Amino acid sequence: MSETRLMKGNEALAEAAIRAGCKGYFGYPITPQSEVVEYLAEEGRQRGMVVMQVESELAAINMVYGAAGAGARVMTSSSSPGISLMQEGLSYIACAELPCLIVNVNRGGPGLGTIQPSQGDYFQATKGGGHGDYHLIVLAPASVQEMADFVYDGFDIADKYRNPVMILADGALGQMMEKVVFKEYTPAEHIPPKPWATVGKPPTRERNIITSLFIQPEKMETINIGLQAKYQRVRENEIRYELVEADDAEVLLVAYGLSSRICKKVVELARQQGLPVGLLRPITLYPYPYEILQELSERISSVLVVEMNSGQMVEDVRLGINGKVPVGFYGRMGGVIPSAEEVLHKVIEMFDRVELKHVEEEYHA
């Protein structure tokens, strides 16, 4: 089945969902990800999926809850404002430990904002935009190929930990076309049995209950301890990142998703100029690769975080670096994409400074 195709990120993601054995999609149109529901409305339905365009994102996420609780591989997708509407539902899903896939094709906010690509929802995705102590597992693709690949991985991880997984992309990754190869994947080999699912109780077992309500605080704390233990396992096993020319780097760029693509270009350009610049690209945003940052902080002399927001992941980088070397930030907001040249400029500045002690945060003005 593996074949190369040229597709938009949104379409590749949708195609991968069908191939990953996704049984149900529930969503509501929103730019720049409407291609997901449109592709599935045609292809998915023809290939046996339940594909519903429903009355709102609120309804969609709660249908995901119901269908995931009934043991099906299911997903939804949206973009920033729509994801905000799902926050209550996500907190419920996380607490009830239901595996499912949520896709956020991030656009520029806050508010109605713009439809251009952004990374302004990093905090919401990684720290928990909903209430209470929970975590999504967050995968950040940086290519159309990964838009597809992370669907399989996302579903598998979701099932492994019974936890919602979010693919945090952005408008550009959704809209751009690249080559994509769909790998061999037999859903039946990957989807584990779900004895906890509510599929109708046979006389041979107790009834199954999907709930997030534990009225006694002691019980609720036990539930939370269980969740935290799970997150600990996730932190131990699922951290992923990519290093580019980091071995001899003096200045380390840290960026994910689209901005990591731009930073790769920056590394190329800088190396052409003989500047030892490297890149750390976190692939999982939760769990975050703090350790590698700690490790690298022994070797590098400074860090520049590049984001398409006002500085969100930079906090995680600072937590990882823990004061060892200065951490600078360069960001563009509201749907503007930083160019490799402007980042390079910033990097050169860093090399130029005699004292690299403290690089201030800076917003493009």
Partner 1 sequence: MASVRGTVKINIQTCKGCELCVEACPQESLKLSKEINAIGYHYAVLVQDNCTGCVNCALVCPDAVITVYRSIKKGGKRELKEPIATITHVSRDIKVSIDTLSQSQQSIGRVDI
Partner 2 sequence: MTHEILFAGFGGQGVLSMGQTLAYAAMTEEKEVSWMPSYGPEMRGGTANCIVIVSNKPISSPIISKFDAVVALNQPSVDKFEKAVKPNGVLIYDSGSVFILPSRTDITVVPVASEFEALKLGNVRVRNMVMLGAFLSVCQVVNVPSVMKGLSEVLPQRYHHLLAVNQQALERGEDLIIEAATPLV
Partner 3 sequence: MPETFPLDHLECVWEKPDTLTETRFHYCPGCGHGVVHKILMEAVKELGIQGDTIGVAPVGCSVFAYHYMDVDMQEAAHGRAAAVATGIKRVLPEKYVYSYQGDGDLAAIGTAETIHAANRGENILVIFINNAIYGMTGGQMAPTSIIGMKTSTTPEGREIATQGFPFKITELIAMLPGAYYVTRQSVHTPNAVRSFKKAVLKAFQAQKEKRGYCLIEVVSNCPSGWKLTPVDANKWMEENMFPVYPIGDLKVEGKLGERMFTQVTKN
**Binding mask of the shown chain, residues 319 to 348, with x at each position contacting a copy of itself by CB under 8 A:** x--xxx-------xxxxx------------
Stretch binding partner 2 (CB under 8 A), from 39-47, 49-57, 94-102, 177-185? 177-185
Residue nearest ligand TPP, Cβ-based:
30
By the rule CB under 8 A, 161 interacts with partner 3:
no
- Report the distance separating Cα 150 and Cα 166, nearest Å: 10
Q: Nearest approach, Cβ of 215 to partner 1 (angstroms)?
A: 6
Among 29, 66, 113, 129, binds ligand TPP (CB under 6 A): 29
| Positive or negative: CA dihedral 124, 260, 277, 351 | negative
By the rule CB under 8 A, 281 interacts with partner 2:
no
- Report the distance separating Cα 142 and Cα 154, nearest Å: 15
Residue type for position 172: A
- Report the distance separating Cα 139 and Cα 122, nearest Å: 11
Whether residue 78 contacts residue 86, with contact meaning beta carbons closer than 8 Å, is answered with: yes
* R_g (Cα) of the chain, nearest Å: 21
How many other C-beta atoms can be found within 10 angstroms of the C-beta atom of residue 154? Answer: 28
| Strand duo 4-8 + 24-27: pairing | unpaired
By the rule CB under 8 A, 13 interacts with partner 3:
no
Q: Nearest approach, Cβ of 206 to partner 3 (angstroms)?
A: 9
Among 12, 14, 30, 103, binds ligand TPP (CB under 6 A): 30
By the rule CB under 8 A, 209 interacts with partner 1:
no
Among 95, 172, 234, 275, binds a copy of itself (CB under 8 A): 95
**Binding mask of the shown chain, residues 178 to 207, with x at each position contacting partner 3 by CB under 8 A:** --------------------xxxxxx---x
Q: How many Cα atoms are found within 13 Å in the side-chain-facing hemisphere of 359? A: 26
User: Residue 210, class by beta-carbon neighbours within 10 Å (0-12 exposed, 13-18 middle, 19+ buried)?
Assistant: middle
The position carrying tokens 């419920």 is: 92
Among 179, 181, 183, 211, binds partner 3 (CB under 8 A): 211
Element (H, E) at 306: strand 302-307
By the rule CB under 8 A, 47 interacts with a copy of itself:
no
Q: Nearest approach, Cβ of 121 to ligand TPP (angstroms)?
A: 13
- Which residues make up the interface to partner 1 (CB under 8 A)? 30-32, 112, 115, 213, 215
